[in-house]
Amino acid sequence: MPAFRDFNFKLLVIEQLMYNDGTLTPAFRIADCLKAKGIDDPQTYAYDNDLTHTVLAESREHFEALEISAELLATVEELSLDGGLEVYQECSPVWDGEDDLFDVRSLDDLDLLPNLKLIEGVEDCGMGAAFDADVLAARGIAVE
């Protein structure tokens, strides 16, 4: 299985495959994971345990261990940068988008997405600092 180097880049791919396309299943829900541990409300849990600006351990463990086949990665044609992505809420239920928690730091994982054609939100979102326009253009990837 292909290995990602940048956890936050992997989250963008998971957003597309799991929460948008529905092809990476089952969809992970932090509420279900915490409920199995006797925790009823992910937001209260995050606040009560000073986890408001961090990825919950349960989410990190799940998404880091999640294997995505090369065949499934080849279906990704676009990614979206947006502070409101579902995957971010599953990682950090009270994240407010006001820090760099989910900023992509490297484009090394572009090699895993041979058919990527578009990245939306690069110019509108501070999270796109690593998305060098020249690197993307050289790969034939458009930005919006």
pLDDT in tens, 3-35: 999 999 999 999 999 999 999 999 999 999 999
Q: What is the CA radius of gyration of the chain?
A: 15
The more confident residue out of 92 and 83 is 92
- Structural domain contains residue 2: no
Q: Which helix (H) or strand (E) holds 142?
A: strand 142-143
User: Over 80: is that where the pLDDT of 129 sits?
Assistant: no
Average pLDDT, the chain: 93
Please check whether residue 83 lies inside any domain of the structure. yes
Instruction: List strands edge to edge, sheet with 118-120.
Output: 78-80, 118-120, 142-143
| 41 within domain boundaries | yes
Long-range contact set of residues 46-50: C-beta below 8 Å, sequence gap at least 24:
46/92, 46/93, 46/94, 47/94
Which residues share a beta bridge with 119? 79, 143
Q: What is the structure's pLDDT at 125?
A: 62
Looking at the structure of the chain, the number of domains it has is 1
Question: Over 70: is that where the pLDDT of 142 sits?
Answer: yes
Task: Give CA separation, 135 vs 73, 88, 102, 103, 131, in Å.
Answer: 20, 26, 21, 17, 8
Residue 130 lies in a domain: yes
Q: Is 48 helix (H, G, I), strand (E, B) or coil?
A: helix
CB-neighbour burial class of residue 143 (10 A; exposed 0-12, middle 13-18, buried 19+):
middle
Average confidence (pLDDT) over 58-75? 98
Q: Is the pLDDT of residue 59 over 80?
A: yes
Which residue range(s) make up the domain with 127?
Answer: 7-143
- The pLDDT score that the predictor gives to residue 119 is 94
In a domain, 1, yes or no: no
Average pLDDT (48-63) is 95
